[in-house]
A and B are shown apart, each in its own frame.
Chain A
Amino acid sequence: MKNTSSKVLISLVLVLTVPMSSFSQSLVDMKLIHGGAFIPLYGIDDSLKINVNSFYMDQYPVTNKEFQDFIKENPKWNKTTINSIFADTNYLVNWKNDSTFPVEANPEAPVTNVSWFAAKNYCECKGKRLPLLDEWEYAAMADKTKPDARTDENYNQYILNWYESPKSFNKEIGSTFKNYWGIYDLHGLVWEWTMDFNSVLISGESRKDVDKDSNLFCGSASVGATDLMNYAAFMRYAFRGSLKARYSVKTLGFRCVKDVESSTTKTN
């Protein structure tokens, strides 16, 4: 009798504390991005100002180690057993086996070669979600000191320089600068999945993207770009346009975000 009651007590305690700890855990290493309005690259003028609600964003992209832990708990996302609808043959292509990332890879480097399905599921398992494209771009507009650095030449050149430096995917998270919101590595390590990466369609024939074929696509896709100088953003949209949800790319990782309403504990 004593044993079972103590067992019940213990399990009761566990049941009560585990969810609590998971809630507070889920906001660890996340920062609050205060919402606002901005004109994205695909907005032609003021009439297409996008409103972004406040949200929490992971400070860093998801690492190899974190993803490895996720796979151990969720073996259906294993390299060998994953459903081919959810991933192409590039999925975790460099991993030695189902649960070990390559020896030469840094455990603290962002995980790459993961499909959108896998990334989405990872976030959901943590009680989070993938960021919306607009949310990601909104957070990424910031440099070290201001929330919108898009007209800053140096800032754009910094990003363009990264697009030219090879093999940055093996760098540790936190290697680049901390931006205005306290978020690291939105530029400089890897491309990142977003929830609706294919809602702004760059047709692949980029010369055509500057005329007004906007009726043909959803999300006013052909880009009447507000800022033709924002070549860095152009390249991100071009990259997103080349992806399909089951694709895995060596230079593409992800991070998660969380809505403000669904969190129940305060953050620091």
Chain B
Amino acid sequence: MKTLLKPKGYYLSFLLLALAISITSCKEKEENNGKLVASNANIAATLEMKAELTSPPNVPRSVGRRKAKKLIVDMEILEKEGEMADGVSYVYWTFGGSVPGSFIRTRVGDEVEFHLKNHPDNKLPHNIDLHAATGPGGGAASSFVAPGHETQFSFKVLSPGLYVYHCATAPVGMHIGNGMYGLILVEPEGGLPQVDKEYYIMQGDFYTSGDNGEKGLQSFNMEKAIEEDADYVVFNGKVGSTTGDNAITAEVGDKVRLFVGNGGPNLVSSFHVIGEIFDIVRVEGGSMINENVQTTIIPSGGAAIVEFMVDVPGTYILVDHSIFRAFNKGALGMLNVTGEENKKIYSGTQKESVYQPETSGEKPDMAMNVEELKEKLPLKSRAERIAAGKAVYAQTCFACHQANGQGVPNAFPPLAGSDYLNANVDRAIGIVLNGNKGKITVNGKEYNGIMTPQNLNDDDTANVLTYVYDSWGNSKKDIKPDMVKKIRNSH
């Protein structure tokens, strides 16, 4: 009895302990989910680190497994002239000298110490609103800075995701419209899952005083911006930023991740990569994941992360699938993939041949379906054979020799009252079976063309020739299938 009791006692206390643990851990989870953001606010960030900022289309390294840090970001604002398209220049207002501005990569819990510097040569004051920052104006209320001066403010990134940042100085639309936008990524703890290639693409619409393509220095046009009548819709600030030599690259088998933003100021993007399907879309740059997506919408002032594996080499075109923007306004980029072909996944062109419809122009009245006819009755009488032959003629011969056997002058010889035809029956059969080329003279006229062999069986050949000989003043010879067979075998 004693031995039995002891185990039972242990068992009971073990059970209680297990129960206690499970209850408390559940409770913790609940609390965590409910106060997720609050707990991110408590992530410690003690050590300092200088942020690695990159220009598009490149991104800084993944945060990997690093802890949250005090991240120092030094961002300079430059108003500078650049090339919008061939022969078209534009004064861009930039974060870090590029459109879009430098890419900022952070980890959830980081405390970003933001230094915003306004170059003394700039004409205008600026500030910054980061969608990743929680606080008045996303930072805009605390970063208003005159040219030749610098401001500093700090914010803690609380929620993972891909966020837009942009200038918010009056008039806001004009500052954004001149290129003052970029992306800031907040990675979850441990970073995003590893991939082989990562790139930074950001769409924007531009409004110029001149039309699309008008050469020279173009200025911003407020009216067109209000009308949302864009002259240029481009990736990374200019036409051709990621085409030709500037195309982004990958190799067959690579997992590619694109951080895609849309600075606007107005237009929403229908982002698509021609020839690829997004295996994963982190919808709107947030935590929701969609799979197997062809085209994803990126709101103005928003972003998305798309990931796909490239299986086959070739050039993949990035577009805004509001398609006139891609082909007429510049919303077009290129991803060059090199490596081994995979014909099973994509074969490339397999065959090329001529296509000619069997009949052209008007059809004769009593075109009959030859197959239908054959199924009905075995053809015996001459009248029946002539009727069958007429159907064959309508399908096979009339295209060249025409409805009444008149042919086409200088091209196809007539059959109607044709001396050539009536002179030699066997030759006629041979021509239907084997075709003909070279000079012939029919009714006094020369023809030098090619007739292709006709794909007809003995019955059909006999029937069509019987019809032809019976028509249009010809010799009314009767052609039988065995006659055709004889000629066919003798060839």
Contact = CB atoms under 8 A, between A and B. Distances in A.
B145 interface: yes
Interface residues of B, number: 36
Contact of A206 (B79, B172, B220): B172
A251 B219 CA distance: 20
Given A205-B136, A208-B141, A242 B146 contact: yes
B471 to A, nearest CB: 79
B190 interface: no
Contacts of A208: 136-137, 141
B170 A235 contact: yes
Contacts of A166: 79-81, 91, 121, 123
Given A161-B219, A206-B140, A206-B170, A242 B145 contact: yes
Interface in A206-263: 206-209, 229, 231, 234-235, 237-239, 241-243, 247-251
B171 A164 contact: no
Contacts of B169: 204, 206, 238
B127 A204 contact: yes
B179 to A, nearest CB: 12
B216 to A, nearest CB: 13
Dominant SS among interface residues on chain B: loop
A215 B122 CA distance: 33
Contacts, number: 104
Interface in B139-189: 140-149, 168-172, 174, 178
23 contacts: A157-B222, A160-B219, A160-B222, A163-B123, A165-B91, A166-B123, A203-B141, A204-B137, A204-B144, A204-B169, A205-B168, A207-B137, A207-B168, A207-B172, A209-B170, A234-B170, A235-B170, A238-B125, A241-B125, A242-B125, A247-B148, A249-B120, A250-B147
- The contact size tier of chain A is 35 or more
Contacts of B137: 204-205, 207-208
A206 B146 contact: no
B36 interface: no
Report, nearest first, the 6 A-B pairs whose CB atoms are least far apart.
Answer: A204-B144, A242-B125, A206-B170, A242-B146, A205-B137, A205-B141
A104 to B, nearest CB: 14
Contacts of B223: 153
Contacts of B121: 166-167, 250
A157 B81 CA distance: 19
Given A206-B172, A242-B146, A251 B141 contact: no
Contact of B174 (A191, A231, A237): A231
Contact of B170 (A90, A157, A165, A237): A237
B220 A160 contact: yes
Contacts of A163: 123-124
Interface string B170-213: 11101000100000000000000000000000000000010000
Contacts of B209: 157
Nearest to B91: A164
A111 interface: no
Contacts of B221: 157
A153 B148 CA distance: 31
A235 B172 CA distance: 10
Contacts of A243: 146
A164 B127 contact: no
A157 B220 CA distance: 9
Interface in B100-139: 120-125, 127, 136-137
A234 B171 contact: yes
Interface in B212-267: 219-223
B153 to A, nearest CB: 11
Contacts of A238: 124-125, 169-170
A187 B113 CA distance: 37
Contacts of A235: 124, 170-171, 174
Interface string A149-186: 00001001100110111111000000000000000000
Nearest to B146: A242
A183 B160 CA distance: 56
A185 to B, nearest CB: 15
A197 to B, nearest CB: 11
Interface in A124-169: 153, 156-157, 160-161, 163-168
